[in-house]
Structure 1
Amino acid sequence: MESNNYSNVTFNYNSTSYSNNIKPDIEYVVTCVIISIGLPLTLVAIYSLYSQVQNNNVAPIFIINLLISDIFQFCYMIIEVAKPDWKIDEIFFYIYYYSVLASVGFMVCIALERYLGIAWPLWYRFRRTIKISLVVCVVVWILPLVFVLPHYYWVEFEDSETIFAVFLLVPFPLLIFFLGGTLKSLFAAMSVSSDEKRRIVGILVLVLLIYTLLFLPNIIWSLVEEARYNHTFSGLTFSLLRFSPLADLILYVFMRKGVIDKLLASLCCCRMDSDDNSRSSV
């Protein structure tokens, strides 16, 4: 009970520090805009991707689960805007951080799936099944409970923040490895088309960029005690985390063929032209 009360006090402190950095009216408007734009688009994206999960097409499964975790984050934002009883607010607060941890896990799964598609295309083609993908998704949904349940019942706040930071920090080297391994194996993957290669690299770069900009500040906030008492940094950290569901929608766009392929092709062509010009000038 003492640990739980202390967590409640700290939770109130985080909410207060966040409100002190962003005016309540601006915070309310921004949250409403994120909900009104992100929630319907996320539901449409889930429906669109679900129709593609057939004939062992496992690629959309991880992004679907990522978007489902975003739905939980939107639910917390709705509860926060509605300002219900503090107990309901606290429960959805833990659900929110549970969904944040799950979303990071599915980002790693997306990066891993893209890395295997380039580095080990033949091996992955014969071993990727919907059943295996669903088992991986179940594991990713269960793992965050290792953080949330002890935090809610037993663990002191300082220890729980360390556990939370470790959960978020472990994917960082993995995402860098997947991107580096993909770039290294890019030219050797003869069975993958050029458009697919560009899309895979674009997704991996985007995943790493989203993680670095939106989640890494929260890791610093959790590990560095001085950062927790810096009101400006605390406000910025929680503000960036709110935009992660919208950033995940960009991943959905990169999963689809069409305009993104043309954009990536034009960027690659510009890069190749600049390289050719530099070689000719030398």
Structure 2
Amino acid sequence: MTENYINVTHWNASYEYYQKLDFIRHVVTCIIISIGLPLTLMVIYALCFLVRKDHVAPIYVINLLISDVIQVCCLLIQEIIQNQTHAIVDYIYSSGLLTSVCFMVCVSLQRYLVIAHPLWYRFKRTIKISVVVSVVAWLIPHVILLPPFLLYLFLLVPVKVIGSVIIIFLIIPFPLFVFFLVGTFKALSASVSVPSEEKCRIVGMLVLVLLIYTLLFLPWIIFALLKNLIIFDRTLGVLSLMFIKLSPLADLIMYVFLRKDSIGKLCTTVNWCRVVNADTNI
């Protein structure tokens, strides 16, 4: 009798805890949707005015933010149809997530080439090439996700197959981000043709992309790997998913590093602080 009472009490405590956890998840998701959707659309509109024949960097960020809009819209649908699974919505969200990762790689690669291979990049930075790369980046996630998704949908292959594909896909970009950042730092001293303000913007963008991936994507990747090893914790699962859902908001910061006036003011402020500190020390 006592043992049954203890089991019931433990079950009730666990049920209440997970109800609170789901409520927090719901609130955070609603905040992400209400803030992320209008802000992302505004930033996309603003970035369209930055695209010029000799300035194609915003193209990749615009596509990245469009993929973020797709993710946020899927989150909205998932909140509306709560407690109901919809395979198509899950597929669109997953493909949007992987597409955003592809464009994060494109942004980092483009920034790396400006510093490491400025002459080559100067002759290759055309809108046509950027559009072709963007189309390929949109297609890659579907080429990777569609086969296992169709197998799951029609042949009832375990959903773990799709999860494994996503995990493998998300692991690959991390060493690339590290390589681009380290390679850029190594090439900074040898790069004379790039102005110091532009170097500040480029390094800032690379650091931002690496931070977003490390803080928001890696926790879910680690959790997913542990889950496949039969180590499961629902709290960690919800938290890691929350981090990934925050990525559309974090991506908005990239707009700052594409605006010359914003970085110019930042550099001026930093230089002014250095001068003040130097005068104080004297």
Band the TM-score falls in, shorter-chain normalisation: 0.7 to 0.9
Contact 1:161–1:223 (Cα < 8 Å) also in 2: no
Which whole-Å CA distance do the structure 1 matches of 2:75 and 2:68 have between them? Answer: 11
Contact 2:29–2:75 (Cα < 8 Å) also in 1: yes
Shift of 1:261: 3.1
Residues 187 and 270 from structure 1, CA distance in 2 versus in 1: closer, same or farther, beyond 3 angstroms? farther
- Choose from 241, 258, 269 the match for 1:238: 241
Shift of 1:209: 0.3
Residue of structure 2 equivalent to 1:253: 256
- Choose from 207, 217, 221 the match for 1:205: 207
Contact 1:21–1:231 (Cα < 8 Å) also in 2: no
Which whole-Å CA distance do the structure 2 matches of 1:38 and 1:91 have between them? Answer: 22
Contact 1:198–1:265 (Cα < 8 Å) also in 2: no
- Choose from 218, 224, 233 the match for 1:222: 224
Instruction: Name the amino acid aligned to 1:26.
Output: I
Structure 1 or 2, whichever has the larger Rg, is 2
Contact 2:25–2:238 (Cα < 8 Å) also in 1: no
- Choose from 88, 91, 112 the match for 2:88: 91
Which whole-Å CA distance do the structure 1 matches of 2:47 and 2:74 have between them? Answer: 24
Instruction: Name the amino acid aligned to 2:26.
Output: Y
Map 1:35-114 → 2, pairs under 5 A: 35-83=33-81, 86=84, 89-114=86-111
Which whole-Å CA distance do the structure 2 matches of 1:269 and 1:158 have between them? Answer: 54
Residue of structure 2 equivalent to 1:146: 143
Which whole-Å CA distance do the structure 2 matches of 1:122 and 1:263 have between them? Answer: 28
Which blocks of at least 5 consecutive residues in structure 1 are unaligned?
A: 1-16
Instruction: Name the amino acid aligned to 2:264.
Output: D
Secondary structure of 2:260's partner? Answer: coil
Secondary structure of 1:258's partner? Answer: helix
CA-atom RMSD in angstroms:
2.6
Residue of structure 1 equivalent to 2:131: 134
Which whole-Å CA distance do the structure 2 matches of 1:191 and 1:141 have between them? Answer: 33
Per chain length, whose mean CA-contact separation is higher, i.e. which structure has more relative contact order (CA < 8 Å, sep 6+)?
A: 1
Which whole-Å CA distance do the structure 2 matches of 1:20 and 1:182 have between them? Answer: 45
Which whole-Å CA distance do the structure 2 matches of 1:107 and 1:21 have between them? Answer: 35
Instruction: Name the amino acid aligned to 1:188.
Output: A
TM-score (norm 1): 0.83
Which whole-Å CA distance do the structure 1 matches of 2:74 and 2:170 have between them? Answer: 20
Which whole-Å CA distance do the structure 2 matches of 1:153 and 1:189 have between them? Answer: 48
Instruction: Name the amino acid aligned to 2:31.
Output: V
Which whole-Å CA distance do the structure 1 matches of 2:209 and 2:201 have between them? Answer: 12
Residue of structure 2 equivalent to 1:5: none
Shift of 1:267: 4.5
Q: Deviations over 1:124-160 (max 9, x none)?
A: 0111111111111111111111332123221533332
Contact 2:60–2:103 (Cα < 8 Å) also in 1: yes
Which whole-Å CA distance do the structure 2 matches of 1:238 and 1:62 have between them? Answer: 25
Which whole-Å CA distance do the structure 2 matches of 1:133 and 1:248 have between them? Answer: 19
Residue of structure 2 equivalent to 1:31: 29
Which whole-Å CA distance do the structure 1 matches of 2:264 and 2:19 have between them? Answer: 40
Shift of 1:110: 0.2
Q: Is 1:164 aligned to residue 166 of structure 2?
A: yes
Residues 109 and 265 from structure 1, CA distance in 2 versus in 1: closer, same or farther, beyond 3 angstroms? farther
Which whole-Å CA distance do the structure 2 matches of 1:76 and 1:213 have between them? Answer: 22
TM-score (norm 2): 0.83
Which whole-Å CA distance do the structure 2 matches of 1:106 and 1:128 have between them? Answer: 16
Shift of 1:165: 1.1
Residues 126 and 63 from structure 1, CA distance in 2 versus in 1: closer, same or farther, beyond 3 angstroms? same
Aligned length: 259
Which whole-Å CA distance do the structure 2 matches of 1:265 and 1:208 have between them? Answer: 25
Which whole-Å CA distance do the structure 2 matches of 1:213 and 1:35 have between them? Answer: 20
Deviates more, 1:159-168 or 1:204-213: 159-168
Instruction: Name the amino acid aligned to 1:97.
Output: S
Q: Percent of pairs identical after alignment?
A: 51
Which whole-Å CA distance do the structure 1 matches of 2:229 and 2:135 have between them? Answer: 36
Shift of 1:77: 1.3
Which whole-Å CA distance do the structure 2 matches of 1:174 and 1:26 have between them? Answer: 34
